[in-house]
Amino acid sequence: MQEYDLTDAQKKAFADNEADFRRLDAQVRGTQETARARLIAHGWGSDSEETIPCLSCPCPDFQPGGALHKCKRGSCRHPLSDHDLPE
């Protein structure tokens, strides 16, 4: 790994950023759980382990290859984070 010559303030800025991104990850997880529960409560749920259904529309499985890592399905086009990612 390459060593970068960072000031302490720059190192702290990176550490703060990383912590914020991890917080965002936890938030996305929480939002996905809420979204999943909401759909199940209304009779919409997938029990398949092999598909990654969208939680923002009825898209049954994430289709990689869309712009900016979004779902390629024309009726969906939601980002991967809107889809029900496996644990």
Point out which residues bind Zn ion (CB under 5 A): 54, 56-57, 59, 71, 73, 76, 78
Residue 18 C-beta: closest distance to Zn ion, Å: 29
Residue 6 C-beta: closest distance to Zn ion, Å: 39
Q: What angle do CA 51, 71, 48 make, to 5 degrees?
A: 10
Q: Which is nearer to Zn ion, 36 or 73 (CB)?
A: 73
What are the CA-CA distances from residue 45 to residues 5, 34, 49, 87 (Å)? 50, 13, 12, 16
Residue 81 C-beta: closest distance to Zn ion, Å: 11
